[in-house]
Structures are given as structure tokens and as C-alpha cells.
Amino acid sequence: MSPSPETKRPLILASGSPRRRDLLENAGISFEIEPADIPEQHAPGETPVPFATRLAREKALAVAKRVGPVPRRFVLGGDTIVVLDEELLGKPRDAAHAEQLLGRLVGRRHCVVTAMAVAASDDLVVNDIAVTSFVTMREASVDEIRAYVATGEPLDKAGAYAVQGLGRHFIESIEGSETNVIGLPVEETLLLLERAGARVTRS
């Protein structure tokens, strides 16, 4: 029996995130990148997990519709949010906002939710997961926070820090998946792809 068409074509990652790209590459998965570029607006009353899940599904579906039904492709979308006291902390608007966000996080425990969704481009069936990890940050001075923000690293990160970068200096502990905090829970995503029937190719 000849392989089905999707086995010959790599997964499509509906994200331009270099963190998700690196995690998939390190997992040995072959993929192409086609960012979804959809609005990431929070609906009134929407709680963290449903919000992240909706965005992940919308990203996967947007690209699945774009690539079309033939040949069948699988599209992976994701969204990561940082939550403190039930409040969503997004990406900082500027350096001053980054300092403000970090000032709220240091010395406290918060959660990071990443939702992943995989859509088939032929029937547009979507499977999704949401993974939560908890991060505790140590106390830090205003000068430490300001010096970190000055590196530019926090400016495009939810919660204004990167656990895989210089932001690691602020991390006291992580409960749960560390790759989830980076932006793609690897083990859970591999299981999601398997459940969806996506026969991913390995590089």
C-alpha cells in the first residue's frame, strides 16, 4: 500500500514563534511555517483556558482553510498566556509596561497556559489540548528588572519574560511542563498529533 498523501508532506505550523519552531525542530518533526496572523482579542468574560483554546483553534483553522482540502494537510496552531490572579498578562506594549508586568510577577507564583490545536485541511476537524504549568519567581529589585528589560528579550513575550533565555535568572521553580512555559508542550503535542491522525514525518 502506498503511503497516504499527508505522510509525504510535513506538518504546517500556524505560528511565526521562534520558540515553537525550535521546540518542534528539537523534537525531530519536519514542518513548514505559515503564520495565521489573526486578531488575538479577548472576549468579555472569557476565562484563560477557553481563551487560549479558542485562539489556538482559530489559528489552525485559518491556515487549514487557506491551504485547501487537496492534498490533505495537518495544521498546528498554538497560543500561550500568562495568568496572575485570574488576570491575563499579555505581551508588553513597551519597556515601561514590561517593567510593570515583571514587577507584579516577581516574588509570586503564576500559571502559564498553552493551548495547541491541530486541524485537517480537508474536513476541518480540529483536536485540541490545553496544558497548565505553574511558575514561581524569586524576589527581584527594580534595578534587576530594569536591566533585564533593557536587553530587549521580554518585549515580545507574554508576561514579559523568557524562561529559556535570560529570564531564567528570575525563575525559582516550575511545576509541570517546562516546554509548555516556553510555548509548546512537546510531549502533549505529540500525543495530540497522534490522536488527530497526523502522521508527522521526522527529520
CATH code of the domain in which 182 resides: 3.90.950.10
Q: Would residue 28 count as lying in a domain?
A: yes
Which residue ranges in the chain fall short of pLDDT 50?
1-7
Q: Is residue 179 part of a domain?
A: yes
d(CA 112, CA 134): 6
What is the per-residue pLDDT for 42?
85
In a domain, 203, yes or no: no
> Which pLDDT score is estimated for 68?
94
202 part of a folded domain: no
Domain contains 52: yes
75, HSE (Cβ side, Cα atoms, 13 Å):
31
Q: Is 79 a catalytic residue?
A: yes
Using the structure block, give the residue that is written with the C-alpha cell 517546562. Answer: 178
Number of domains forming the structure of the chain: 1
pLDDT at residue 8 in the model = 54
> What DSSP state is assigned to residue 30?
-
Strand partners of residue 131 = 114
- Give dist(CA 139, CA 44) in Å, integer: 32
Residue 201 domain-assigned (yes or no): no
Q: Are 102 and 95 in contact (CB under 8 A)?
A: no
**Taking the model in full, what pTM does it have?**
0.90
**CA–CA gap between residue 144 and residue 149 (Å, rounded):** 9
Query: Burial of 135 by CB count in 10 Å (0-12 exposed, 13-18 middle, 19+ buried)?
Result: buried
Q: Is the peptide bond before 3 cis (omega within 30 degrees of 0)?
A: no
**19 found inside a domain:** yes
The predicted structure's pLDDT at residue 44: 86
DSSP-based three-state secondary structure for 183: coil
Query: 142-150 and 95-105 are packed helices; what angle lies between their axes, rounded to 10 degrees?
Result: 140
Whether 149 maps to a domain, the answer reads: yes
Catalytic residue among 22, 79, 122, 123: 79
Residue 122, judged by CB atoms within 10 A of its CB (0-12, 13-18, 19+), counts as: middle
Domain around 114? 5-196
